[in-house]
Every structure is written in C-alpha cells, then in structure tokens.
Amino acid sequence: MAVELRGISKRYGQVLALENVDFTLERGEIVGLVGDNGAGKSTLMKVLSGAVRPDSGSFAVDGQPVNPGNPIGAREAGVEMLYQDLSLVDDLPTVMNVFLGRELTTRFGFLRFGEMRRHAQGIVDGFSVRGFSVTQPVGQLSGGQRQVSAIARSIGFGSRYVILDEPTSALSPNARQEVVEIISGLARSGIGVVMVSHDLATVRQICSRVAVLHLGRLAGVRAMTDTTQQELVSLIVDGHA
C-alpha cells in the first residue's frame, strides 16, 4: 500500500526540473522531501498532486496506475495536497471550508449543515491541538487551528496520502509544536505524509525517511535513524554525501 513514482522527468523549456526521479510513500509513514531552492521539490509535489503532468515516468497509488497530470484523478486515488498558504477562506467557518466544493446537500442543493458540522467537528476533535468549534470563522483561529482546519479538509473524504507544503513555515514555536503533533497523529492513524520543508530540524524530528533532491535529481533517500544533519546538508548543497 503505497504511492509510487517511477522514472519521473519534467522539463520546463531549457530547464530540467526533474530527471528520472523515483519516490515512494508508504501508508502511516512521514517522508521528508528536502532540497535547496530550484532542486525540484515543488515540481515533484505538483506531480504527486496531479497539478503537473510529467514528461515521462509512471504514477501509481496502492498498485493502481493514476492518470498523471490530473488533480481530480489524484484526489480520487486518495492523494490530497495541502498548500503552504492553506487555501482557506478566512471569513467562512471551518465546517464550510472543510466541505467547500463537496458540500453535503439535499437534492435541491440546500446544506445539510448538521451532518457537515458533526463530521467536521469529529475530525477536528481527533487532533491534539486545543479544541475549537468548527462554526468559528477560520480567520479567528490560531496558526495550529488553521492548519487543523486545512488538514481536516484534506483527510475528511477518505484520503490515504497527504502532501504538506512547508507546514511549519511562519509559525510561532507553540503553533509549530502543535503542527508537529498533528502530523505525527496523521501518520499514527495510517495516513502517509509527504512533508516538503526547508525546516530540517522538524524533518529530523518527525520523519522516518527523507528524500533529498539536488538540481532535479534524487541525491539520496535516507532512513532518519541512519543519517546525520551533516550528511543531509551535504546532500542538499552538493548533491552527494
């Protein structure tokens, strides 16, 4: 049970963004995806989420091939993307953000608000972050609670794999710790997590493996227990240990 990318290459004009990259993500594990600016992290993330169609390579989820370059296909296959900006509508409550575009309605389109509220509250209450009501506008929530709202939307519809883009950037230390606990909780519940980040300390804290990209190539994949900070920095900067 895994997401598998094999031999992924992608070129933008003269720039080779990804070259023959392999990547796997098992359910229940957290894999860090790190690299310098321009290393290809964003492109690989977009390939995973279906936002970008690779020039070559294959994409499979739980053994089933997924049509690459199709966000809806990736989502239906169980892969959800969580953007760095969280893509929340600040004035709407969490419950509406969670169900935006997939509202539970009567056959005439009227909201089944009670069901939506209970479902969203159930997901939110499952996180270790300080409890909050899903009827509060997300603009009034703390950084950690906003992250929970966005993650609730990602996992609320049966997703098995989540890609998190810089989930701890621009957060206070407290909110960062909340997010770390949330991500760990996701993995414990059996969801596979890709964490794209520049925050090596957090990556080392919660990831079981880390994939390092350098100038579009996979510089290495390391189990966190078998690597050091020094080795990771060398892979990021020089492309080799």
Per-residue tokens: 12:
């933008």
Q: State which residue, 68 or 93, has the beta carbon closest to other proteins.
A: 93
Q: How far is the CB of 32 from other proteins (least distance, A)?
A: 20
Q: Which is nearer to other proteins, 13 or 101 (CB)?
A: 101
Q: How many CA atoms lie within 13 Å of 139's alpha carbon, on the beta-carbon side?
A: 4
Distance, C-alpha 202 to centroid of its chain: 15
Q: Order the strands of the 217-223 sheet from edge to edge.
A: 79-82, 161-165, 192-196, 30-35, 209-214, 217-223
Q: Is 28 in the site for other proteins (CB under 8 A)?
A: no
Of residues 56 and 84, the one with the C-beta less far from other proteins: 84
Task: DSSP letter for 2, please.
Answer: E
Q: Cα 235 to the chain's mean position, in Å? A: 22
Site for other proteins in 115-174 (CB under 8 A): 117-123, 125-127, 131-135, 137, 139-140, 153, 155-156, 158
Number of residues forming the site for other proteins (CB under 8 A): 48
Are 120 and 95 in contact by the 8 Å Cβ rule? The answer is yes
> Do residues 8 and 217 make contact, with C-beta atoms less than 8 angstroms apart?
no
User: Residue 153 CB, nearest distance to other proteins (Å)?
Assistant: 8
Per-residue binding letters, 64-103, with other proteins (x by CB under 8 A):
--------x----------x-x-xxxxxxx--x---xxxx
Q: Does the footprint of other proteins cover residue 7 (CB under 8 A)?
A: no
Does 183 sit near other proteins (CB under 8 A)?
no
Cβ neighbours for 226, distance < 8 A, ≥ 6 positions apart: none
Q: At what angle do helices 143-155 and 173-188 cross, to 10 degrees?
A: 20
> Binding residues for other proteins, per CB under 8 A?
72, 83, 85, 87-93, 96, 100-103, 105, 109-111, 113-114, 117-123, 125-127, 131-135, 137, 139-140, 153, 155-156, 158, 185-186, 188-189, 191
